[in-house]
Every structure is written in structure tokens, then in C-alpha cells.
Amino acid sequence: MSVSGDATAGEGNSPKMRVIRVGTRKSQLARIQADSVVAMLKDLYPGLQFEMVAMSTTGDKILDTALSKIGEKSLFTKELEYALEKNEVDLVVHSLKDLPTVLPPAFTIGAVCKRESPYDAVIFHPKYAGQTLGTLPEKSVIGTSSLRRAAQLQRKFPHLEFKSIRGNLNTRLRKLDEQQEFSAIILAAAGLQRMGWQSRVGQLLYPEECLYAVGQGALGVEVRAKDQEVLDLVRVLHDPETLLRCIAERAFLRHLEGGCSVPVAVHTVLKDGQLYLTGGVWSLDGSDSLKETMQTTINVLAQHEDGPEDDVQRVGITARNISQGAQMAAENLGISLANLLLNKGAKKILDVARQLNDAH
């Protein structure tokens, strides 16, 4: 079967009828995210049928340990990749922030979908409705599964205490509402948006308060790297702006050798042909940090020209239909910013953070 890579794929060039098996985690949010990708593909290829294959991952099963302490980079992806490898599914939908910056060689991210809000959101216990983090009482406990959030916010709000909270979104909200342990919890705004729970958001954390996680708010579609048929099928989902921002972010993280066991965070803006990347590293308690911003000129609308580098993966992403020059500029920006921070002592901050995290 031949699949058109044209973004205007419709009835005329829809692939002939077959069933595409879509792998996803079992949580309600994961299913909503997978459904949204399937809906876009159905619009583009009305002749295709889709079958959902839901499964639990290591990260879903280990709920009594902080994510940063499990020491496994592919916590939410390994079982799904195993199904992809065994040809039990054809593509897998992930939150891009869950995908490591180095993928096993057999896989690639074939699409980076348009990003929703990349910011973090604060949800308050009902008795603190109308408050902000700054106005909460001394020693209020804030629940978050992220070292990145805790490190930045401890520095900004030293009167608060931060404690790990695990489980899917439904579980965390229930823990907040039904127990008296947490005054507030912090979650990704995009997940709350997709679940239709925007009304619970009491405060959005903008970059001046808290930089976000690499890839946060974007969905990634992982496929077999050699499966040209499915690569061609999903590549129309690439959102050029999101793709370039996330390549820069992932290159920054990869070059720093960061992961969820150390506090690394970013903020990107693509405006008037300039890609701006702010990146930072923090000690676990936020007392030590480095943060810098760099920019590069990028031509998002540059025509893609077929060439020998068509199948190049950049930080695990394959995007044949987006200008290679623009992708290279984004990747180099991430590497340059990481080098700047490393030259200023980022490695020491991250090494200490890693050691302390492992010791606790």
C-alpha cells in the first residue's frame, strides 16, 4: 500500500482499508490522548480503521516510589515499545515528555503533534480555593512527582514544603480532595485541559516562576524506524513550530545527560524567525542553579528538499517533510545552550543532585 505524505491527504489518496493498531497506556488521560491522534488520522485517511491496544507500563505499576528514584529512563514507554517491536501494534501515542531523548535504535518518533499549554498548573485543596502558592500558610505541603517543579518552587516559595505524590490524574485529585495531607498539587496544564478539568486550575505557573519539562504539552507518535508505510502515514501530524521547539529542548536535555532524576527545565519561543531557548539546572533544594537563554535564526517555512539526510533522526525524531536546515538549527541551539551551562558548572550541580536523589 502506498500512503501519501501530503498534509491534505483525503479520500483520493487514502490508503486502502486496513486496521492500524494503536498502543497506549491504560489511564483515562492516555486514552484521551490516543483518541485525539486517531481522530486526526481518521480525518486525513477516511479509509483506515483503528484498533486501540491499551497496556500498563512499569511507571503505572510502581506507585509507592517517586519517579526520580526508580532509576529507569523508559518508565512509561518500555512495555509499549516491546509491543511495537513484536509487531503487536503499529504506532504508540505518548506524552512527549515521557519519551527519553535516546530511543532504542529500532524506534523513532514519527510525529510531534501541535503542543497544548506547556505550563504547570496548581490545584488547591477546596479549603484553599482562591489562594496562590505565595499566599498559602507556612509549611503547607505541596504534592508533585517532579524534582524539576520542587527545586524551582522551593527556591521561589521557601515557606512551602514539597512531597512526592504518585498515581494517575484521577488518583492525585482524589488524594488532594479527600485527604488533609496536601494543600495543593501541581500537574501539567495540558493533561488537565485534555481531561476537561480546567475549572480546577487555581494558578498557572509561567516561566518566570517555573520553567517546564522538555516536551511538556506535546504528544509524540512512536513507530518502528524501518516501517516506511506507517512513517509516511503519521508524518502529516508533525506541527512544524512544536517540532522545532521540542528538538531544541530535547537536544539541550540530551547534551546535559539529564532525565527525571535531576531538575532540568526549559522554555522555548518561536517568533519572527527566531527560536529562543531558555534552559536551567537546579540543585534538589533549588539553592544552587544556572539559567541562560540563547537564540538562533530559523526558517520554519523553508521548503524541504529531498536529500541524503532525509532519514536522519534528531533526538529520536524523524521528520522528512520539515526543512532539515531548520531542524539542524534547532538541534544546534539546544547543544549550544547545554555547552554554555556545562562550561559554567552545570555538571557539578547535576552530579550532586543525582547523588543526593540516589541516597535518599
Residues noted as catalytic:
98
Angle subtended by helix axes 324-343 and 346-359, to nearest 10:
80
Cβ count within 10 A of residue 198:
12
Cβ count within 10 A of residue 210:
23
Rounded Cα gap, residues 7 and 160, in angstroms: 48
Identify the three-state secondary structure at position 17.
coil
**Residue whose C-alpha cell reads 519519551 in the numeric block:** 99
Rounded Cα gap, residues 21 and 42, in angstroms: 13
The b-or-e profile of 322-336 (16+ CB within 10 A means b, else e) is: bbbebbebbbebbbb
| Cβ atoms of 275 and 245 closer than 8 Å | yes
Rounded Cα gap, residues 225 and 326, in angstroms: 21
Rounded Cα gap, residues 254 and 355, in angstroms: 19
Rounded Cα gap, residues 202 and 209, in angstroms: 15
Query: Residue 123 forms beta bridges with which residues?
Result: 185
List the one residue out of 240, 237, 218, 235 whose CA is nearest residue 300.
240
Element holding 81 (H helix, E strand): helix 78-85
DSSP 322: S
For 339, phi then psi, to 5°, come to -60, -40
Distances (CA, A) of 347 to 84, 163, 222, 283: 35, 25, 30, 11
